[in-house]
Structure 1
Amino acid sequence: MSVVQIEDLRGLLALGEHRHVTEAAAALGTSQPTLSRLLSRVEAELGARLFERDAKGVHPNPLGDLTLLAAKELVERYDRLRRDLAGTLDPDSGTVRLAFLDSMATSLVPRILHDVRERFPRLRVELRQEPGHEMMADLDAGVAELALNWGPQRPPYGWIALQTQALALIVPPGHRLAGRPRARLADVAGEDFVTIPRGYGFRTLVDDLFAAAGVTPRVTLEIGDLATVESLVGAGLGVGLVPERFVGASGTVGLPLNAPGAERVVGLTWRADRRLTPAADRFREFVAGAAPYR
């Protein structure tokens, strides 16, 4: 009696990705006849034809699509189990799954990873760069163990503040406000405003600041990346609100804000109602000891 094994599922996934036996075999480091036999064996074991063969290659049929979805989940869960077991046996060489905001990709994340690498050179970190709402969903699903997000976070999430970022109003060079030492949000009422789309945590912060100031911004451009927001403002397409470290990259002029709460606190978060893997716990403890990151 044959049994479908994890490596068989990897073979199916390679076929699903490459749609050609020769290319899939090359990607797996095996031969075309071996992969063809693998496919025939798995189809016989499952009792269903999964791929259709023609002159252009192999293509999953509806049953194949269903099988590939299950194969992907099983392989990912198996690989995660292997990583977690390795991390339990030796936390210093385990794997940490870390999600982080796009706006931290060129600042906080490289600094933290550099410090972690210096202290734990054998620790492996898997990175996921995504919006805040997606990373929180990944924490809930167990796809990520730790996340660098803005906060603070409430239970069931744990939270360590790492950095406070003051926000600045940015205007293009030559703008009527460019020479002022400070600005209010009311100063840009009625102007074209460039910002992050709704659904992002930073957009919630921006909307709350405007609401507290009694101003409704005239949003004309939305893009899910703060560096691009700064670029668009630098090109004269409006004004914007960004953390101070983004000011000036494209020639924008930054003005400190006269507005309570005009700052973003970023930090490390995790599901406090679950036990972290030893590797993730070691990462968290180290980063907490190194905080705050200025």
Structure 2
Amino acid sequence: MRINFDFTDLEAFLAVLETGSFHLASAHLGLSQSSVTRRIRKLEVALDTPLFNRTTRDVRPTLAAKRLKVRAEHILGETRETARALRDESSAYAHQLSQSLTIATVPTVIAGLLAPALKCLQQEFPSARYRVLDIGANEVAEAVAEGEADIGICPVPAFEPTTTFEFIFDDPLVIALLPEHRLASRPNVSWADVSEENLILPRRGTGNRMLIDDALARTGVPLVWTIEVGRTTTALDCVCAGLGIAPLPKSAIIAQERAPFLVKPVAAPAIARPIGLLKRKGYRDGVLSRRFSEAIRASAAPDFALDADA
């Protein structure tokens, strides 16, 4: 059976039933009397039965109208409740979206930079949610440029016309080695010193490896790797196993206070990668993303200076 009436027809019907007048019903609904009359007529045609007996003096409901009253009230009541629930859910979802942040970041800064910043924000925004994409520097830039991430934390990327980079700190490369290593007693080491050791280097194509290769190509210091790895955590595991020494970003090991290895500054030349916040041009910071940026700056300030006591 096809239904040829709608909710507005039922509203008109109930208004006439309650007021006992087409004129009063039209005033109640803010419609013309002829519009109310058309809606009642449409309902009567659809149900194939008269709903009101009309005289010049009054309007009386038929038996069909009395039977329809309960059903019409139920239908409209359910419809209003459904609409209200959907609006509430939509508002709640919109609020959730405003209180969520997708962060693309290179893994090396998570422990020392990202985690402390998020810990601070959890106190201020206890219901906020954070989606963390721990990916390579190039992927961070792509995620931000394509809108997959709201904000990125990475070394300065290749020029991308749709993003902006805010410098936060210089992240120096340091040498991780065991306490019993022959270089452990030195306050710092040079690249010439480490070139004769079993080296655990980042694999070719990674940002850290390119940073090392570019800097040393200008000095003529040759580096021959013994082990080549893709992740900093793998390099640290190899160092702890006594397989060699590893040049790593300071940010990657600053949170490893109880680790069984030592960290030595490396010079001649000193190498550092600029770390910053990456955003899309035109991106409008919400309260959460603005406070996140402030927390990242605060986390970086005391710990990531390029100094001789690293």
Please give the range of the TM-score, normalised by the shorter of the 2 chains.
0.5 to 0.7
Aligned counterpart, 2:118: 113
- Distance in 2 between residues matched to 1:208 and 1:87, nearest whole Å: 51
Q: What residue identity is the alignment partner of 1:98?
A: I
Cα offset, 1:111, TM superposition: 0.9
> Relative to structure 1, is the Cα distance of residues 86 and 149 closer, same or farther in structure 2, using a 3 angstrom cutoff?
farther
From 115, 126, 130, the counterpart of 2:131: 126
Gapped runs of 5+ residues in structure 1? Answer: 1-84
**Residues 88 and 152 of structure 1: is their aligned pair in 2 closer, same or farther, counting only changes over 3 Å?**
farther
Identical residues among aligned pairs (%): 25
Counterpart of 2:277 (choices 251, 257, 268) is 268
- Displacement, 1:285? 5.2
1:166 aligned to which of 159, 165, 172: 172
CA-to-aligned-CA distance 1:50-99 (integer Å, 9 cap, x gap): xxxxxxxxxxxxxxxxxxxxxxxxxxxxxxxxxxx979965994321111
Residues 281 and 248 from structure 1, CA distance in 2 versus in 1: closer, same or farther, beyond 3 angstroms? closer
Give 2:202's match in structure 1, choosing from 185, 196, 204.
Answer: 196
Q: 1:217 to 1:136 in 2, by over 3 A?
A: same
Give me the whole-angstrom Cα distance separating, in 1, the residues matched to 2:204 and 2:185. Answer: 31
**How many angstroms does 1:252 deviate by?**
2.5
- Aligned pairs (5 A) from 1:22-171: 90=95, 93-151=98-156, 154=159, 156=161, 157-171=163-177
* Cα distance between partner residues in 2 of 1:203 and 1:270: 25
Contact 1:93 1:124 survives alignment (8 Å): no
One-letter identity of the residue aligned with 2:104 = A
Q: How far apart in 1 are the matches of 2:116 and 2:275?
A: 14
CA RMSD of aligned residues (A): 3.2
TM-score, scaled relative to structure 2: 0.57
Cα deviation for residue 251 of structure 1 reads 2.6
Who is 2:263 aligned against? 254
Q: Any stretches of 5+ residues in structure 2 without a counterpart? A: 1-89, 303-310
Work out the CA distance in 2 between the residues paired with 1:275 and 1:128. Answer: 19
Shift of 1:249: 5.5
Partner of 1:282: 290
Q: Which has the larger radius of gyration?
A: 2
Q: Check whether the contact 2:176–2:247 (CA below 8 A) recurs between aligned residues.
A: yes
- Aligned partner of 2:87 in structure 1 is none
User: Could you tell me which residue of structure 2 aligns to residue 239 of structure 1?
Assistant: 245
Question: What's the offset of the Cα at 1:207?
Answer: 1.8
Counterpart of 1:82 in structure 2 is none
Aligned residues: 209
Q: Which residue of 2 aligns with 1:187?
A: 193
Residues 92, 123 of structure 1: 8 Å contact kept? no
What whole-Å deviation, never above 9, does each CA across 1:131-185 have from its counterpart, x for those lacking one?
A: 1122222222221121111227755332233343332223333322222222110
- Find the aligned partners of 2:207 and 2:174 in 1 and give their Cα distance: 17
Deviation of the 1:112 alpha carbon: 1.2
Deviations 1:185-225 (A, max 9, x none): 01122432102212222222222232233122111222222
1:199-258 residue CA offsets vs partner (Å, 9 max, x unmatched): 222222222232233122111222222232122123221221113462775533322222
Normalised by the length of structure 1, the TM-score is: 0.60
Shift of 1:277: 6.3
Which whole-Å deviations, capped at 9, do the CAs of 1:116-139 have from their partners, x for residues lacking one?
222333332211111112222222
Deviations 1:22-62 (A, max 9, x none): xxxxxxxxxxxxxxxxxxxxxxxxxxxxxxxxxxxxxxxxx
Q: SS of 2:301's equivalent?
A: coil
Distance 1:252 1:290 in 2: 27
Gap change, CA 1:248 and 1:88, over 3 Å in 2: closer
CA contact (8 A) 1:133 1:199 kept: no
Which residue does 1:26 correspond to in 2?
none
